[in-house]
Amino acid sequence: MDDQVVFWAPDDSGLQVLKDAMPEGVEIDWVNSSASLEESAEALQNTKAIILGGALAFDLDLAAKCPELRLIQTTSAGTNQLDKAALGELGIKVSNNGGGNAVAVAEHTIALMIGVYRKLQLQFKNVQDGKWMSNIRAEWFSQAHELTGKTVGIIGVGRIGSRVAKRLQGWECGLIYHDVVDPDSELVSDLCMEKVELDELLATSDIITLHVPLNRNTRGMISDREFDLMKPTAILINACRGPVVDEDAFIRAIEQDKIMAAGVDVLEIEPTPEDNPLIGMDNVLITPHLAAFTQEASEKSRAFATYNTAKVVNGGDPESVVLPDDSIIVN
């Protein structure tokens, strides 16, 4: 196959929209990600860049048989399924979606905050079951709060975390943050954020919201010790990656009233088992990893993927390269 960019996916259902978005002069075609190693290697001999169709891994043995391959491009923010260090040794870079879904996830994050405070999942269920308000006011009034004026602790202020902070300004929230990477000082000033140590953030925040990549440093970063530091009135929001939170510790924290409630878009195992205790907890709002589920996010992510892969085909350096430690080079 002579196509310089390949859409690597189990089916070709997303190919046409990528073709429509691809800059003129750059060809893209589909290669079945379920094909054998030999078939795939033959199909990818002249391929310079690959766009992944979903959260797919890419076999290192196959990567070693692709002499022209320079970039694996995701349409998601997460790249933890790819061995970036090993791919780098083969001269292959990995890029994420360049913040294409950042607005969608930021908006969903705030929706989770409001949903948790107003117990929206219980309200919806009661109406659907014909119970109207029933016992909600009597049983849950102590957990009903306004978002305005709350102290929000943002862990990770990259593309998504910074957009959460920007939107929370309209709610007159106090914003504190913790990040291992120092964000732009002008951004911090503009958003009126204060940097604090992680333990202080956990101990003083009304709302703790997570926006970090999943890697060896962040896996299980919120566990029993961290829950013990939180206020009993705190709520936890997670719209990044499920394994960032130790789920057993999370369950204990809810059962033992270490925190008041939580709203999550991600869990350790997805789809989560039907017997997961979190599903039956009325003070835990769970959405099925659809925070980026908008037309606009898909369009922006596709546009960046085609732009970035075309840039590599034309001899340029890719943007939004994710390093093995999950830091991002923004060109």
The residues annotated with a catalytic role in the active site are 241, 270, 289
> Which residues in the chain belong to E strands, given as ranges?
5-9, 28-32, 49-52, 71-73, 93-95, 151-155, 174-178, 193-195, 207-210, 235-238, 261-264, 284-286, 321-322, 328-329
Q: How far apart are CA 256 and CA 59, in angstroms?
A: 43
The helix-helix angle for 159-168 and 102-118 (nearest 10°) equals: 50
CB distance 75 to 301 below 8 Å: yes
The sheet carrying 207-210 orders its strands as 193-195, 174-178, 151-155, 207-210, 235-238, 261-264, 284-286
